[in-house]
């Protein structure tokens, strides 16, 4: 089985190479994103392996199907970039539902601590032998209220981390989990009471721009917003306006709605054409990391192992537990209840 890997970076290749050429698998690596312009690179392949910023729309899906491609293996948990509905009856789609919730949750806390304790600023100062403490005053997390939107695996880990700091934790999720370890509250109450808001929910039609001018107006003055989930959960222009109006005290962003043409690439020495991103980065109370939260050795190994397992299980048994399906119109419910291949 030959698979075309798109948007490949050196760390991807290192984690997947140990499976290349084994168990009947052959991997072709491409640095380019999967798009309507690059889809023909998958010619003569059994499947494609894609990441978060690859474009898997109806045009790409139809082209892959006509070329005889049978599988789409996502090496990530999110699938908002894949038109699952149009894959039905054509291509089987697998994802990696959990690779390391600790990696993402710990990165969220690392960004939060860096921001509120001004660690990034202190690092830059001391490199120039400036040991002044002026303008480095932060605040304690102990006793503060953390509002967690999304209480899946990553959200639960982040809740436990916050509780370890002595924080009060409240949460919102459309599908509450009885063992999340936090008090569930309505979304408006979470906005009103949280000192820190951390996003850990998937991107859906309902959650797109869940952070916008209206929700920001309901938040505490000085609130810190952390996003390690999907960029489009936040309306970036509204976030920028909230920062300029001093309503938002800080923002820690590992993701960005228009990141596809920017993140994972070196633009040092170049002019970034995205004005909103450029203005966000220029703000002294904004930290941006380029979709780095997942990037640990443990997570990369788990991603590779699960992705390969999904392919081999489907090839051997005709189905795998991590297949995504649109047969019943409810992707997650179908995945849990089906216990057989999608079509």
Q: Exactly one of 75, 92, 107, 230 is catalytic; which is it?
A: 230
In whole angstroms, how large is the CA radius of gyration of the chain?
A: 21
Beta partners for residue 74, in sequence order: 50
- CA quadruple 108, 126, 122, 296: dihedral, nearest 10: 0
Residue 51 phi, psi (nearest 5)? -120, -170
Tell me the C-alpha distance between 311 and 316, whole Å.
9
25 touches 32 (CB < 8 A):
no
Which 8-state DSSP code applies to residue 163? H
279 labelled catalytic? no
Q: Exactly one of 291, 321, 323, 327 is catalytic; which is it?
A: 291
Q: Exactly one of 75, 95, 200, 259 is catalytic; which is it?
A: 259
Give the angle subtended at the CA of 272 by the CAs of 270 and 277, to the nearest 5°: 145
Tell me the C-alpha distance between 24 and 1, whole Å.
6
257 labelled catalytic? no
259 labelled catalytic? yes
Helix axes 297-317, 101-116, angle to 10 degrees: 150
- Residue carrying structure tokens 């923002």: 251
Provide the annotated active-site residues.
230, 259, 291
């Amino acid at each position: 089985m030959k698979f075309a890997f798109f948007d490949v970076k050196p760390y991807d290749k290192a984690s997947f190479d140990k499976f290349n050429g084994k168990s009947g698998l052959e991997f072709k690596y491409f640095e380019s994103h999967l798009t309507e312009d690059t889809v023909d690179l998958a010619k003569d392949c059994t499947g494609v392996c894609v990441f978060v910023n690859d474009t898997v729309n109806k045009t790409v899906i139809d082209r892959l199907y006509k070329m005889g491609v049978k599988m789409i293996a996502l090496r990530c948990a999110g699938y908002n970039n894949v038109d699952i509905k149009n894959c039905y009856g054509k291509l089987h789609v697998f994802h990696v539902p959990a690779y390391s919730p600790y990696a993402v949750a710990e990165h969220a806390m690392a960004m939060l601590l860096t921001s509120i304790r001004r660690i990034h600023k202190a690092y830059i100062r001391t490199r120039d032998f400036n040991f002044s403490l002026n303008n480095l005053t932060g605040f304690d997390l102990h006793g503060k209220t953390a509002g967690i939107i999304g209480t899946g695996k990553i959200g639960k880990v982040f809740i436990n981390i916050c509780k370890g700091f002595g924080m009060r934790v409240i949460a919102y999720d459309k599908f509450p989990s009885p063992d999340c370890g936090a008090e569930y509250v309505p979304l408006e109450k979470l906005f009103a009471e949280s000192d820190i808001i951390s996003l850990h929910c998937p991107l859906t039609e309902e959650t797109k721009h869940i952070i916008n001018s209206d929700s920001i107006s309901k938040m505490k003055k000085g609130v810190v917003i952390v996003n390690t989930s999907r960029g489009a959960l936040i309306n970036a222009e509204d976030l920028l306006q909230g920062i300029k109006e001093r309503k938002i005290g800080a923002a820690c962003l590992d993701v960005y709605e228009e990141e596809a043409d920017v993140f994972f690439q070196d633009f040092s020495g170049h002019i970034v054409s995205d004005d909103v991103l450029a203005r966000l980065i220029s703000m002294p109370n904004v930290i941006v990391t380029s979709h780095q939260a997942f990037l640990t050795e443990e997570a990369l190994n788990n991603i590779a192992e699960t992705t390969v397992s999904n392919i081999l299980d489907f090839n051997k048994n005709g189905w795998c537990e991590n297949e995504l399906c649109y047969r019943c119109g409810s992707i997650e419910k179908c995945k849990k209840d089906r216990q057989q291949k999608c079509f």
